[in-house]
Chains A and B, each alone.
Chain A
Amino acid sequence: MSEATLDRPEAQASRGHDAAGGVIDIRDLSLTFQTADGPVYALSHVDLAVRKGEFISFIGPSGCGKTTLLRVIADLEQASSGTISVNGLTPEQARLNRQYGYVFQAPALYPWRTIEKNVMLPLEVFGMSRAEQQARARKYLALVNLAGFEQKFPWQLSGGMQQRASIARALSFDPQLLLMDEPFGALDEIVRDKLNEQLLRLWAETRKTVIFVTHSIPEAVFLSTRIVVMSPRPGRIIDIIECDLGDNRTLDIRETPRFLAIAQRVREGLRAGHSYDD
């Protein structure tokens, strides 16, 4: 795929917009994959602005482009048309400047490294001093409640603990933007609830901007300040829902009428954009 720089001049021009506190600014963004069976419209005319400190969820059925959109922000895919800026930079510049931490669907820990060494991986790549690496690894492992597991290897930890270690790794270099691609999708409900609570606490402590991909409605409503509902064929945004449940949410909030009303609206959005007949 060409890494055409077609959107770079516009991205420069939109700096003024970013000064207003925008972390991510996406305008009329489309991405088409050329496959043997013809073009696949992964993303079609997406517009989205994310402000600093927001917790945004992308929700939708598989094939709606939510992961693709996250990967475009991370410069792991390149858009076919439209403009996108991340912290006022192109996604590529943002990636080269290591402006975001990315948490994948699987922990993606390197199995030959201890948990501590895994958290130190980005810091090693950045060329930080050994002492600084170690201090940060300890600090962020403690933050995700993994103190004492530094010298364990990944296989010695449960799936939930591994994913927490991968979150510590993403936080270790203190990026202001956290991109999370269904990080808890492979975990069971109970572990997932627990990690959701921890993630909210972490977000409250660090006030990073988080973009969180999920296909779980309760998870999206519980975590987010705004929910972006997406739909497939072509991948597009069909609704953006304010999720004003306030700070200090606990799992009990899921029984409140306000929570259920928002969840209902998300469900309707998903239903409207997706025919379950096919």
Chain B
Amino acid sequence: MSAAAPSRAMPRKAGSTIPVLVITALIMAAWYAACLPMNNDLPQLARVTGLAERYQVSWALERPVLPAPHQIVAELYNSTVGTRLFRQTADGMVLNPRNLVFHAWITLSATLLGFAMGSLLGIVIAIGIVHSRTLSKSLMPWVIISQTIPILAVAPIVIVALGSVGLTGLVPKAIISAYLCFFPVAIGMVKGLLSPDTMQLDLMRTYNGSTVQTFWKLRWPAAVPFLFASLKVAVTISLVGAIVGELPTGAQAGLGARLLSGSYFGQTIQIWSALLLAALLAALLVVAVTLAERLTLKAMGSRP
């Protein structure tokens, strides 16, 4: 097919697939190769001789230090597709906590709420900074300082403090998530709202356009591409924030809780599968934002 392709884009596309596949294969090979040395000290391997046999055992351990990729995929499959999704309770059908989808949904809901709150906050801060010199001088340092504080230190404080006033569950996690993700949005939007050039701004001035009109007709649309670039970063760190928010509670639910309980009980495969699902979730979120970006920019007449 690529030989017959008339356009120049086709061979380039094919040319990028092969390197990706090669790198993936290399990583997989290295991973499988690493399973034996990583798990070498486990008792199950003590009496096995012969390199091939030792490798085979190292790829099928129950609680390995490093599980093999296929073990992780199998665990992910069993804990999602292989487990009942719903459970009958007195309140009717609910998501089954034994299914990883339940935990993914808990984390995703905190992520989405945090993402929405953080993005909104970031946009509001950016609007304030762009329109008020006082705000730009007083707020900007705090915006930057907020990100120098390690989130792992802040998260328990937020969870405990909010818990003491009766706020538990979704909202505290969303707040931690928002705390992380407002930053790239604020920075990106300040840049975006300031992106119109002198001529575009002078034009509004010659029309005696108000600040509000200049904002909606010029600054905001000019900032939209910047907004989406920021949102792509923000949405992934929102997920990180939600997972981090699930750790200090000793959590019962969520991907963070699975990571935590997995490490308590040495269930490495469970940790890895939760990790893989988190990565898939992040990828899904980025794809969703990218899709929204493409549709929006297309409607705004950007060059295809």
Identify 13 residue pairs between A and B in the complex whose beta-carbon atoms are under 8 Å apart, listed by A's number. A95-B206, A102-B202, A105-B199, A108-B203, A110-B217, A110-B222, A112-B222, A112-B302, A113-B301, A122-B207, A124-B217, A125-B204, A125-B207
Which 9 A-B residue pairs are closest in the complex by CB-CB distance? A153-B301, A112-B300, A108-B199, A125-B207, A102-B206, A112-B221, A125-B209, A104-B199, A122-B207
**Interfacial chain A residues near B8, Cβ < 8 Å:** none
- B contacts, CB < 8 Å to A: 197, 199-200, 202-209, 213, 217-218, 221-222, 224, 300-303
Residue on B nearest A100 in the bound complex, by CB: B206
Q: Is the CB of B207 within 8 A of A126?
A: yes
A101-128 interface mask toward B, CB cutoff 8 Å, 1 = contact, 0 = none?
Answer: 1101110101111100000011011100
- Interface residue A33 (Cβ < 8 Å from any Cβ of B): no
Beyond A113-B301, A121-B217, A125-B217, whether A104 also contacts B202 by CB under 8 A is: yes
Apart from A104-B202, A110-B222, A112-B302: 12 A-B pairs, beta carbons within 8 A? A96-B208, A98-B207, A104-B203, A110-B218, A110-B221, A111-B301, A111-B302, A112-B221, A121-B203, A125-B204, A125-B217, A155-B301
Residue on B nearest A169 in the bound complex, by CB: B203
**Interfacial chain B residues near A101, Cβ < 8 Å:** 206
Residue on B nearest A166 in the bound complex, by CB: B203
**Interfacial chain A residues near B301, Cβ < 8 Å:** 111-114, 153-155
**Interfacial chain B residues near A108, Cβ < 8 Å:** 197, 199-200, 203
Residue on A nearest B202 in the bound complex, by CB: A76
Task: Name the distance in Å between A132's Cβ and chain B's nearest Cβ.
Answer: 16
Count of interface residues, chain A, beta-carbon cutoff 8 Å: 26
Docked CA distance A211–B64 (Å): 81
Task: Name the distance in Å between A147's Cβ and chain B's nearest Cβ.
Answer: 20
- Contact among A95, A106, A114 for B205, CB-based, below 8 A: A95
Q: Is the CB of B221 within 8 A of A76?
A: no
- A contacts, CB < 8 Å to B: 74, 76, 95-98, 100-102, 104-106, 108, 110-114, 121-122, 124-126, 153-155
Docked CA distance A97–B208 (Å): 8
Docked CA distance A112–B192 (Å): 14
Candidate in A101, A105, A122 with the most chain B CB atoms within 10 angstroms: A122
- Contact among B199, B204, B303 for A155, CB-based, below 8 A: B303
Task: Name the distance in Å between B223's Cβ and chain A's nearest Cβ.
Answer: 11
Beyond A112-B301, A113-B301, whether A74 also contacts B206 by CB under 8 A is: yes
Docked CA distance A257–B207 (Å): 42
Residue on A nearest B301 in the bound complex, by CB: A153
**Interfacial chain A residues near B300, Cβ < 8 Å:** 111-112
Task: Name the distance in Å between B196's Cβ and chain A's nearest Cβ.
Answer: 9
Task: Name the distance in Å between A180's Cβ and chain B's nearest Cβ.
Answer: 12
Docked CA distance A104–B202 (Å): 9
Task: Name the distance in Å between B219's Cβ and chain A's nearest Cβ.
Answer: 11
Residue on B nearest A102 in the bound complex, by CB: B206
Task: Name the distance in Å between B254's Cβ and chain A's nearest Cβ.
Answer: 40
Beyond A95-B208, A114-B301, whether A125 also contacts B213 by CB under 8 A is: yes
Docked CA distance A96–B207 (Å): 8
Task: Name the distance in Å between A213's Cβ and chain B's nearest Cβ.
Answer: 14
Q: Is the CB of B203 within 8 A of A102?
A: yes
Q: Is the CB of A110 within 8 A of B200?
A: yes
**Interfacial chain A residues near B218, Cβ < 8 Å:** 110
Residue on B nearest A104 in the bound complex, by CB: B199
**Interfacial chain B residues near A121, Cβ < 8 Å:** 203, 207, 217
**Interfacial chain A residues near B224, Cβ < 8 Å:** 112
Docked CA distance A40–B264 (Å): 73
Residue on A nearest B205 in the bound complex, by CB: A76
Task: Name the distance in Å between A86's Cβ and chain B's nearest Cβ.
Answer: 12
Q: Is the CB of B221 within 8 A of A98?
A: no
**Interfacial chain B residues near A113, Cβ < 8 Å:** 301
**Interfacial chain A residues near B205, Cβ < 8 Å:** 76, 95
Docked CA distance A105–B197 (Å): 13
Q: Is the CB of B203 within 8 A of A76?
A: no
**Interfacial chain B residues near A106, Cβ < 8 Å:** 199
Docked CA distance A100–B197 (Å): 21
Task: Name the distance in Å between A106's Cβ and chain B's nearest Cβ.
Answer: 6
Docked CA distance A101–B208 (Å): 12
Task: Name the distance in Å between B221's Cβ and chain A's nearest Cβ.
Answer: 5
